[in-house]
Amino acid sequence: MNQSICATLRPWALATGLFCSVFAGTSLAQQAPAAGQPATLPQVQSANIMDVGRAPDATIEAQRRAAQNQPGNSAPIWRTVNSDDVNFVSIPDKQAGVLIQKSGQQWRLIRNGVITVYGAWLLALASGGILAVFVLKGKIKLHEPMTGKKIKRFTTLERVNHWTMAFSFIALAITGLLILYGKYFAIDLLGASAFSILLLVSKNIHNFVGPLFTISLIAFFIQFAKRNMPEKGDWEWIKTFGGMFGGKHVPANYFNPGEKFWFWFGMVVLGGLVSASGWVLDMIVPVPGLEYWRGTMQISHIIHTVGALLITAMAFGHMYIGSIGMQGSIDGMKTGYVDETWAKEHHEAWYHKVK
């Protein structure tokens, strides 16, 4: 039955297609001017319909000449459309003047290609390196037994601010990684509907916890910047990496150069970049002279993601050393006090100043 219907309709379809082809060819022949004749007004207007309200008169005139010399050539029109040039619109949203944002595709390639791929490798290498150190070396133990005598290292306010910054950072890291990598594994585990809810919750947590992290970061800088300034003996510690390569114990001050590097590069530089770009993405505070266009948000997103991945990889090492990686390290932030043996072994210069 179906074959007989197709056999009956096939001649009509061929005839209809032939008629449409002839009609279209006649219509185009009527519209196209003869060689040497100027283009008609409708053709000139169609060639420039995308440029209504564009400021450069030279561009419009060049496209008019192109329409006269090459009638029917729409390349200049689509070249204008496929650009980041802002055309005139009469509505409040001036971004609507950009019909196709070509740089958006570049941002997508950078975000889903370079940042996502190399960021995953960075986190994998950082966590893998820490795991290898723990398996091969284990916890760094004190060479002498603890005495039970305590030395005050941190005040209550310093510890409260540190834990505020730590927990806000962990919340931001988890939600940020879900936003960046969740679609690669969570959709299959949870399903599309549940994952969309999880992503919405993660986004809101990320947006509202971000300012808290920034405030605690500023307070942390005020509290510890003076104690992280370069001091005598830091270069000797750097050359032997705290005695690991020289075989000789090198006394450290209140903070050793490794901790100072984490403070200045990890917290101040990377933390500052992540916080500033995050505030732009949240659009919390209007910045004079800064227009919140798609391009601005895309650049801020790249800075934010790269900085966040770097600071997260560094934080893995900081959290490992400050918790299970070194005996007695977490006591200072738990109680505010450290044992004399720990202070003498890891911060001997500071220990002698206190004694």
Local structure of 150: helix, strand or coil: strand
* Side-chain-facing half-sphere of 204: CA atoms under 13 Å: 5
Q: Residue 213 to residues 1, 169, 244: CA-CA distances in angstroms? A: 72, 7, 34
| Best CA proximity match to 344, nearest among 251, 223, 220 | 251
- What is the pLDDT at residue 58? 66
Question: Residue 243 pLDDT more than 80?
Answer: no
Please state whether beta strands 150-152 and 337-339 pair in parallel, antiparallel, or not at all (unpaired). Answer: antiparallel
Q: How many CB atoms lie within 10 A of CB 240?
A: 14
More confident position, 204 or 105: 204
Question: Residue 101 pLDDT more than 80?
Answer: no
Burial 285-295, CB ≥16 within 10 A → b, else e: eeeeeeeeeeb
More confident position, 200 or 78: 200
- What is the pLDDT at residue 65? 76
More confident position, 270 or 97: 270
Tell me the pLDDT band of 166, cut-offs 50, 70 and 90: very high
With 0-12 / 13-18 / 19 or more C-beta atoms within 10 angstroms meaning exposed / middle / buried, residue 169 is buried
| Best CA proximity match to 200, nearest among 183, 185, 179, 181 | 179
Question: Residue 160 pLDDT more than 70?
Answer: yes
Tell me the pLDDT band of 120, cut-offs 50, 70 and 90: very high
Question: Residue 60 pLDDT more than 50?
Answer: yes
Domain with CATH 1.20.950.20 in the chain: 102-154+225-354
What mean pLDDT value characterizes the chain? 81
Can you tell me the distance from the alpha carbon of 274 to that of 267, in angstroms, rounded to the nearest whole number? 10
Assign residue 254 a region (left: φ > 0; alpha: ψ between -120 and 50; beta: otherwise).
alpha
Q: Comparing 177-181, 233-237, 263-267, 313-317, which segment has the lowest mean pLDDT? A: 233-237
- What is the pLDDT at residue 68? 75
Question: Residue 265 pLDDT more than 70?
Answer: yes
Tell me the pLDDT band of 250, cut-offs 50, 70 and 90: confident
Beta strands in the chain (DSSP E): 150-152, 337-339
More confident position, 60 or 161: 161
Tell me the pLDDT band of 56, cut-offs 50, 70 and 90: low
| Best CA proximity match to 227, nearest among 268, 260, 276 | 260
Tokens describing residue 147: 């005495």
- What is the pLDDT at residue 57? 62
Class of 102-154+225-354 per CATH?
mainly alpha
